[in-house]
Amino acid sequence: MNTATHTLDPHGAHAAAPTGILRWLTTTNHKDIGTMYMTFSLLMFFVGGAMILAVRAELFQPGLQLMKPEFFNQLIGVHALVMIFAALMPAATGFANWMIPLMIGAPDMALPRLNNWGFWLLPPAAILLTLPFVLALFGIGDGAVATGWTLYAPLSVQGGIGVDFAIFAIHILGVSSIMGSINIIATILNMRAPGMTLMQMPLFCWGWLVTAVLLIITLPVLAGGVTMLLTDRHFGTHFFDAAGGGDPILFQHLFWFFGHPEVYILLLPVWGLMPHVLSTFTRKPIYGHTAQVWSFIAIGVLGLVVWAHHFLTAGLPVPALLYFMYSTMSISLPLAVLFFCWIATMWRGAMSFETPMLFAVGFIVLFGIAGLTGLVLADVAADAQYHHSYFVVAHFHYALFTGGIMGVMTGVYYWLPKWTGHMYSEKLGKLHFWLTVVSFNLTFMPQFFLGLAGMPRRIPDYALQFAEFNAISTVGSFILGLSQLIFAYNIWRCVKGGEKASNTVWEGTSGLEWELSSPPPHHSWETQPVIKA
Amino acid sequence: MREAALPPPRRHGRLVVRLLLLAAAFFGFGFALVPLYDTLCAAIGFNGKTLKDAIAAKDLPPSAINYQRKLGVQFTSTLMPGLPWEIRPLEPAIEIHPGELRTTRFLVRNLSDQTIVGQAVPSVTPTVAARHFRKLDCFCFTQQTLAPGESREMALTFIVDGDIGDEISELTLAYAFFPAPKDPG
């Protein structure tokens, strides 16, 4: 790899940048915007976490202790929407903003102003989602959306103003995500350093490229679906009203046409960053770069055609059941390729276990459990028993907490020294990891057993035989929630100061982003590097 | 080190427009799914949806009645919330031959002191039998208005066509009676 000059100079004219709050409101710098995304995500992670801790507190014992069932229903739905749309997706977009230009040798994102707008749509959307809680305190409306995050009709057609707030929040979040995706695709396709072919492009960028395409394909369908919901609620249409010739099951199709690819939208950026971390801490090149690229693409394509496995019990005809079962199970093939590539990258490497590596290995083990239990759920015969039980709750938290959030934590610990120029506290990082892993399993492993024993999800009260596992799960969830304060404190400390990080930060890094200083200058790669094959 | 020649600045406009069009197309696709889904359901009987419109007697397949075969047909009915009515099939279960024209009746009564409009929505189980269940006349084709306290026998005339699969020996027709939507669509 040879660095040569190759000037784009997109920043020529704005030497006099505003300071203070105006800087953040008007910034078009990919690093500033990435930082805002990450900060917003961390904040909403705690908001969504506080909601679910209230839920777990209610579930500590059978019976109703702390809240009315209506409020319980609002908490679980908004928890999911906040965690998915306001915590996990912005975290991935924050990574993309920070790292894609650095990794491909571009001076900034392709559409910097759109980038700024994309971020600043998020806070209003988050406010819309949570405002009905506050309004209810003043006697306006009956609280936030209480349908669960899936907004199934006809319940959502009958729901209170919280549903309308959620619909508009989804519209705004959708616009923001689509703008972000267009920006990322344009950056990746048009602004790679001269000589960097698509196939040579780092895997993190590949994961994001597939994610961005999935977002552009599926989010508009969700937007359409919730728009129909809105017109059903207020304008006399009957898209989901059986008496008017509509069909409530249609909503499930529209929702999950988006909802299933959404799982991969959340996970692909993490799968993309994992090989970089594994390669760094085993001091070996990534195994199977090309195989992983094609696995990403295969999972993206397959992910678009398996949506109905989320409602296998809704009364689909047998041929459809068989199709959705086999197509769902077939996703485990490209996913297995990824797992083998990750393991092969580690194979006989000179491994060391700094915090990012701990999280990466923890991710592989726990995310594997998500994959295996997913196979069980995809089985039509078994799903009849497990559907809508706590088994499903445990399964998708193994997928989205360990696959998604622990993946994001891997990336944060891995790149934080690059972003801030300081090392975080390794001691606190390791403490955070062990507390997280142990308490996560303490929280969610019992939920598998609860589901197998027949406890349905989304209920505030339950039969006495479920009491012990629920108590364990609640204790675990509080340890899990409180351990995240260590994470926040460690980030805060690292931003404020600490041991100076070198350019390469870690011993085994490779890639353009590590050739820049830590932290990188405000404007980087204004002279694009030239990649020689 | 060598100075790379300055490339012409990349324009993103065309790519952005194409991606926006892709997003718009999938927004449209979401709405296209509405008729597409209805057509699919009617064609293959997904969800147990029966064909929406009546068929005339002259359109019936001229297949002879298959006296060799007997089919059990059961009728059930549910009232959806907000409809203070009573409904029950006068014949909960009957036996018919494929190809045989039959009429059965449901007793419907308005228990309230108000005139109420209702709409029945049919569903057939097993779902694959739905497209073989042909209705010549049905009270579910239109909305039904009942005066306070009025009761009425509502008729269903149907035929189960002869090419229904041999594996099916029994089918159930369920009616869900909804309060009619305020603005009929």
Domain assignment present for residue A7? The answer is no
Tell me: do B91 and B135 sit in the same domain: yes
Q: Report yes or no on B77 lying in a domain.
A: yes
Helix (H) or strand (E) holding B146: strand B144-146
Give buried/exposed letters for A133-146 (b at 16+ CB in 10 A, else e): bebbeeeebbbbbb
List of residues 6+ apart from A521 with CB closer than 8 A: none
Spatial neighbors of B8 by CB under 8 A, at least 6 apart, are none
Query: Is position B166 within any domain?
Result: yes
Q: Are A245 and B185 in contact (CB < 8 Å)?
A: yes
3-state secondary structure at position A168: helix
DSSP 3-state of A286: coil
The residue segments making up the domain with residue B19 are 12-44
What totals of helices (H) and strands (E) does chain B contain, helices first?
A: 1, 9
Computed from CA positions of residues A322, A328, A332, A338, in that sequence, does the dihedral angle turn out positive or negative? positive
Print burial letters for A423-438: b (CB count within 10 Å at least 16), e (below 16): bbbeebbebbbebbbe
Provide the token pair at B5: 């020649």
Task: Give the tens place of pLDDT for each residue, B23-38.
Answer: 999 999 999 999 998 8
> Structure tokens of A2?
């040879």
Count: domains in chain B: 2
Q: Tell me whether residues A237 and B185 touch, CB distance under 8 A.
A: yes
A286 within some domain: yes
Query: Could you say which residues from 193 to 252 on chain A have a Cβ atom under 8 Å away from some Cβ of chain B?
Result: 194, 216-225, 228, 236-239, 241-245, 247, 249-250
Query: Do residues B65 and B133 share a domain?
Result: yes
Contacts of B40 in chain A (CB under 8 A): none
Query: Which DSSP state fits A456?
Result: B
**ipTM, 2 dp:** 0.88
- Quick one: B31 and B73 in the same domain? no
Nearest CB to B180 within list A185, A243, A250: A243
CATH number for position A501? 1.20.210.10
**CA distance to partner chain A, nearest, from residue B81 (Å):** 12
Q: What are phi and psi of A422, to 5 degrees?
A: -125, 155
- At B141 the pLDDT is 87
Q: Is B115 domain-assigned?
A: yes
Kindly state the average pLDDT of the residues B181-185: 57
The Cα A177–Cα A179 span in angstroms is 5
DSSP assignment string, A319-371: HHHHHHHHHHHHTHHHHHHHHHHHHHHHTT------HHHHHHHHHHHHHHHHH
In contact, A218 and A258? CB cutoff 8 Å: yes
Same domain, B102 and B121: yes
- Return the H-helix or E-strand segment holding B175: strand B170-179
Q: Does one domain contain both B37 and B55?
A: no
Give the minimum alpha-carbon distance from B146 to chain A in angstroms, rounded to a whole number: 16
Provide the H-helix boundaries in chain B.
Answer: 13-44
Name the residue among A182, A254, A315 with its Cβ closest to that of B33.
Answer: A254
Backbone φ, ψ for residue A465 (5° rounding): -70, -10
Long-range (24+ apart) CB contacts under 8 A made by A336-341 are A337/A288, A337/A291, A337/A292, A337/A295, A338/A271, A338/A292, A338/A295, A339/A364, A339/A368, A339/A371, A340/A288, A341/A275, A341/A286, A341/A287, A341/A288, A341/A291, A341/A292, A341/A295
Distance from CA of A329 to the nearest CA of B (A): 23
Which of A182, A190, A316 faces B10 most closely, judged by CB atoms? A190
CA separation for the pair B16, A183 (Å, rounded): 8
A72: tokens are 């319980």
CB within 8 Å: A111 and B47:
no
How crowded is residue B115: how many other Cβ atoms within 10 Å of its Cβ?
A: 11
Q: pLDDT by residue (tens digit) across B54-92?
A: 666 666 666 668 888 899 999 999 998 889 999 999 999
pLDDT tens-place values along chain A, 533 residues long? 444 444 454 454 455 667 888 889 999 999 999 999 999 999 999 999 999 999 999 999 999 999 999 999 999 999 999 999 999 999 999 999 999 999 999 999 999 999 999 999 999 999 999 999 999 999 888 899 999 999 998 899 988 999 999 999 999 999 999 999 999 999 999 999 999 999 999 999 999 999 999 999 999 999 999 999 999 999 989 899 888 888 899 999 999 999 999 999 999 999 999 999 999 999 999 999 999 999 999 999 999 999 999 999 988 888 889 999 999 999 999 999 999 999 999 999 999 999 999 999 999 999 999 999 999 999 999 999 999 999 999 999 999 999 999 999 999 999 999 999 999 999 999 999 999 999 999 999 999 999 999 999 999 999 999 999 999 999 999 999 999 999 999 999 999 998 999 999 999 898 999 999 999 999 999 888 998 76
pLDDT of A294 reads 97
Q: Which of B29, B80, B181 sits opposite A244 (nearest CB)?
A: B181
Which residues of chain A lie closer than 8 angstroms to B47, CB-CB? 247, 249, 315-316
Who among A111, A241, A250 is closest to B12 (CB)?
A111
Query: Do the Cβ atoms of A407 and A270 come closer than 8 Å?
Result: yes
- Is B25 in the same domain as B85? no
Q: Beta strand pairing status for B71-79 and B170-179?
A: parallel
Within-domain flag for A214:
yes
A526 within domain boundaries: no
Instruction: Please tell me the distance from the alpha carbon of residue A223 to that of residue B169, in angstroms, as a whole number.
Output: 43
HEC profile of B75-102: EEEEECCCCCEEEEECCCEEEECCCCEE
Mark whether B98 and B40 lie in a shared domain: no
Interface mutation vs chain A, best among B1, B17, B33, most A CBs within 10 Å: B33
The whole-angstrom separation of Cα B185 and Cα B183 is 6
Contact A217 B26 (CB under 8 A): yes
The candidate with the shortest Cα–Cα distance to A129, out of A68, A173, A179, A175, is A173
Q: Which two tokens stand for residue A198?
A: 């698509």
Closest of A357, A354, A336 to residue A292, by C-alpha: A336
Peptide bond into A417 cis (omega under 30): no
CB pairs below 8 Å between A and B: how many? 125
Strand partners, B179: B118
Q: Which of A190, A216, A221 is nearest residue B22 as measured by Cβ atoms?
A: A216
- Candidates A185, A318, A527: best to mutate against B (most CBs of B within 10 A) is A185
The pair of three-digit structure tokens given for residue A385, joined into one six-digit string: 């028993």
| Domain total in chain A | 1
- B159-176: buried (b, 16+ CB within 10 Å) or exposed (e) per residue? bbbbebeeeeeebbbebb
Question: Phi and psi of B95, rounded to 5°?
Answer: -120, 135
Same domain, B90 and B122: yes
Q: What pLDDT is recorded for position A501? A: 94
Query: Mean pLDDT, to the nearest integer, of B136-141?
Result: 88
Give domain status of residue B3, yes or no.
no
From chain B, the residues in CB contact with A217 under 8 A are 22, 26
Q: Are residues B16 and B56 in the same domain?
A: no
Residues in B closer than 8 angstroms to A104, CB to CB, are: none
Quick check: is B29 in a domain? Answer: yes
Packed helices A69-81 and A30-58: angle between N→C axes, nearest 10 degrees: 150
Q: Which 98-117 residues of chain A touch chain B by CB within 8 A?
A: 110-111
Distance separating alpha carbons of residues A192 and A174, to the nearest angstrom: 27
Contact A82/B at CB under 8 A: no
Q: Which domain covers residue A340, as residue numbers?
A: 22-515
Q: What is the pLDDT of residue B145?
A: 92
Burial class (CB in 10 A: 0-12, 13-18, 19+), A12: exposed
User: For residue A68, is it within any domain?
Assistant: yes
Q: How far is CA B114 from CA A243, A397, B93, B153, in A?
A: 20, 50, 32, 19
B110 in a domain, yes or no?
Answer: yes
Among candidate residues A384, A388, A302, A382, the one with its CA nearest the CA of residue A337: A302
Contacts of A243 in chain B (CB under 8 A): 80, 119, 121, 178-181
For residue B70, CA distances in Å to A84, A225, A239, A248 come to 54, 44, 38, 34
- A243, B181: Cβ pair inside 8 Å? yes
In a domain, A16, yes or no: no
Interface probe for A, chosen from B14, B20, B26, B33 (most Cβ of A below 10 Å), is B26
pLDDT at A455: 96
Query: Does B122 share its domain with B70?
Result: yes
Chain B residues in contact with A3 by the CB 8 A cut-off are 1
B37 and B82 together in one domain: no
- Residue A370 CA to residue A283 CA, distance in Å, equals 28
Domain at B64, CATH number? 2.60.370.10
Between these two residues, A18 and B117, which has the higher pLDDT value? B117
Q: Match 């589901």 to its residue by tokens.
A: A451
Sequence-ordered list of residues with C-beta below 8 angstroms from that of A466, at least 6 positions apart, any chain: A62, A450, A453, A455
Answer yes or no: is A11 within a domain.
no
| B170 & B111 share domain | yes
H or E, element range at B134: strand B133-138
CA distance B151 to chain A (A): 21
Report yes or no on A394 lying in a domain.
yes
Residue A493 CA to its chain's centroid (Å): 25
